[in-house]
Structure 1
Amino acid sequence: MPKIIITENTIPIALHELDKWSGKLTWELYAERLAKALGEKRISRHTLLSYPVLVETFNAKKYALKAADQSLNSKEQDITLEFAKKQIATLESTVARLEKQNDLLSEQFVRWQHNLYMMPLVDMEKLNARIDTPLTEVKRR
């Protein structure tokens, strides 16, 4: 059985690598950098393509890089300014990705709410009263 490299714990690392990416972006280059970040020998392109969140973020970043490359005509020589620009680009990319994720989750919530409302034998008053109760505490020891 193959080793599972991309998990719930490693997806944020993979997304962060895309957020801070600058320069030419290809699946091979991304897989190589992600393998280094995760401490793996190699990650195949096909492995990365099997995760829709990575594919969407990759495509959005590639589009953003292409648009930024076309608008960037002059080069700055100040290292501090370049570092600040890279950091701003990383943060803007992260914000855009998180806003899109938030929109998708909001849409999913509305869809669930509508589907529950349409189900027979679902008492919405009981559901609303129950939905805000806190989770039960888990005692590990």
Structure 2
Amino acid sequence: MPKKIITEKTLPLALHELDKWEGKLTWERFAECLAKVLGEGKISRHTLLSYPALVEAFNDRKQSLKEAVKDTPVDITLEFAKGQISILENKVRRLEKENDLLREQFVRWQHNLNRMPNVDMKRLNEKLDEPLMGVNRRE
């Protein structure tokens, strides 16, 4: 005789899982979630379909989720802002990495110059701090 998964004791747990469900509801997802809650290895869709109370509650919840999605207006401005935030966060990460690499390069150059013989760091700093020559691009 097969093991009875949904009993008078576990039916309220299964119904509670349906009540708190958010997102896309499918029999496979629900069966997977319910298996975790009940501590079972795996529950098949066909097993769940054999319980009329569960089928009715499932269909009601699925319908209410669909209606909730229809009633929720899509805020295009908010979606656009989220996209822009994501783009800018990625840009900040990239620029921070680039900045770190440039700092490492500067430290490496400074270290190598200090190790070179006959390099006068004072003269080098004076030359490096000189402003760039002006360029007349109209000629």
Q: When the two structures are superposed, what TM-score results if normalisation uses the length of structure 2?
A: 0.52
Q: Which residue of 2 aligns with 1:57?
A: 57
Can you give the 5+ residue segments of structure 2 that lack an aligned partner in the other structure? 79-139
Aligned to 2:89: none
Letter in 2 for 1:2: P
- Separation in structure 1 between the aligned mates of residue 30 and residue 4 of structure 2, nearest angstrom: 18
What CA distance in whole angstroms lies between the structure 2 residues aligned with 1:24 and 1:6? 23
Equivalent position of 1:39 in the other structure: 39
**Equivalent residue pairs, number:** 76
1:68 deviation in Å? 0.1
Which residue of structure 2 aligns with residue 70 of structure 1? 70
Q: Which runs of 4+ in 1 moved over 3 A?
A: none
Shift of 1:6: 0.7
Give CA deviations for 1:37-94 in whole Å, capped at 9, x if unaligned: 0001100111110111000000000000000011112579xxxxxxxxxxxxxxxxxx
Report the Cα distance in structure 2 between the residues aligned to 1:3 and 1:55, rounded to whole angstroms.
19
Matched residues, percent identical? 66
Please, what is the CA RMSD of the aligned residues?
A: 1.4
Q: Does 1:23 align with 2:23?
A: yes
2:68 maps to a residue whose letter is A
Alpha-carbon distance in 1 for matches of 2:26, 2:19? 14
**1-structure distance, mates of 2:38, 2:61:** 20
Q: TM-score with structure 1 length normalisation?
A: 0.52
1:12 matches 2:20: no
Q: Distance in 2 between matches of 1:52 and 1:58?
A: 10
Return the letter of the residue paired with 2:17.
Answer: E
* Aligned residue runs from structure 1 range 106-121, under 5 A: none
Q: State the AA in 2 paired with 1:9.
A: K
